[in-house]
Amino acid sequence: MLGFSVLERGRHLTVRARAKVNLGLEVLGRRADGYHELLTFLAAIDLADRVTLETIQPEAPGSSGIEVACDAPGVPRGRDNLAWRAAELIRREGQVRVGARIRIAKAIPVAAGLGGGSADAAAVLVGLSRLWGLSLAPARLLALATKLGMDVPFFLGQSPALGADRGERLAAVPPHQSLAVVLVNPGFPLPTRDVYARLRPVDFTDGTRVRTLVAALGDGAAAVASRVVNGLEPAALSLWPGLGDVKAALLDAGALGAVMSGSGPTVIGIAASRAAALRIRAALATGGGPRWSVWVARTVAGPVLSIGDGEDAGPAKARRQEAAWGVAKR
């Protein structure tokens, strides 16, 4: 059951969309259709965009009728935006004649391997479906999500999950104790297409390490940290030699383990507790060298698109969330 933060005054609705991390990812091989076969363990974290949707009338015949506004610089406002394409897709699916205004308040970093664009697209699919009373079957909504990208289906469901095939075939994973994580972003994108293009046959594995990681989820942070894996790291390292430096810095600062999330470039450090995570962030801030964005989060179980409450909604929460960010020099 999906949850919503609903601010409905006739034609408005707001959905909170959490970021995701890949604590385990193995590439099993290359498929005949050009995609790669994956096995990945995904978890949502308490870092969320707010996507506010409004029904509008298209201003002129032939206009798209879809407007996107975002408070983050560099985010496209038109067809290059995944949320825009989600609105177009759901409107066409439902044969809806009205348009949509989409306002995205970003907390998830852009092009960071944390699924921000996919989360926003999922929020648009589900939110507009509800706002417009489309009552689409879950299987149909899932099919629409897959058309937008292999990450999008995860955001329609529950955290944590195991993703197979191209990452879009999801199986529930029993909830486990929340993990404190430190996320480090170097401040530049690492294009997914380029990372996958650098894969070699030697990088393909059989999924055993991800399954072992999932089996250890109930054994605590140290057990999970010792089993994190990402089969895309060798390819990413060939494009970004500094990946090793970020992982080493996290471990030196006290992380129990470190792994790149998705196709990067964000690197996740597993901490023993939130207090330990805050100490790791502080330690990273004392070094010299390039500036990294660093923040503390925790994994969460339940709907990835979730209902808002007094703790999670509004400017006060946004200020507390910003306080968890920091800029480190290494």
**Among this protein's residues, is 194 annotated catalytic?**
no
Which residues lie below 8 Å from residue 161, measured CB to CB, with a gap of 6+?
41, 42, 154, 170, 171, 172, 173
> 229-230 and 12-30 as β-strands: parallel, antiparallel, unpaired?
parallel
Residue 25, amino acid: L
Task: Specify whether 151 is catalytic.
Answer: yes
Q: Quick one: which of 235, 205, 218 has its CA closest to 24?
A: 205
E strand or H helix at 92, and its extent?
Answer: helix 82-94
Dihedral, CA of residue 156, residue 157, residue 160 and residue 162, to nearest 10: -90
3-state secondary structure of 234: helix
**Percent helix, percent strand, percent coil in the chain, to nearest 5:** 35, 30, 35
Angle between the N-to-C axes of helices 116-131 and 138-148, in degrees from 0 to 180, rounded to the nearest 10: 140
Active-site residue identified among 20, 46, 49, 247: 20
Determine which one of 46, 151, 247, 317 is catalytic: 151
Residue type, 162: L
Active-site residue numbers?
20, 151
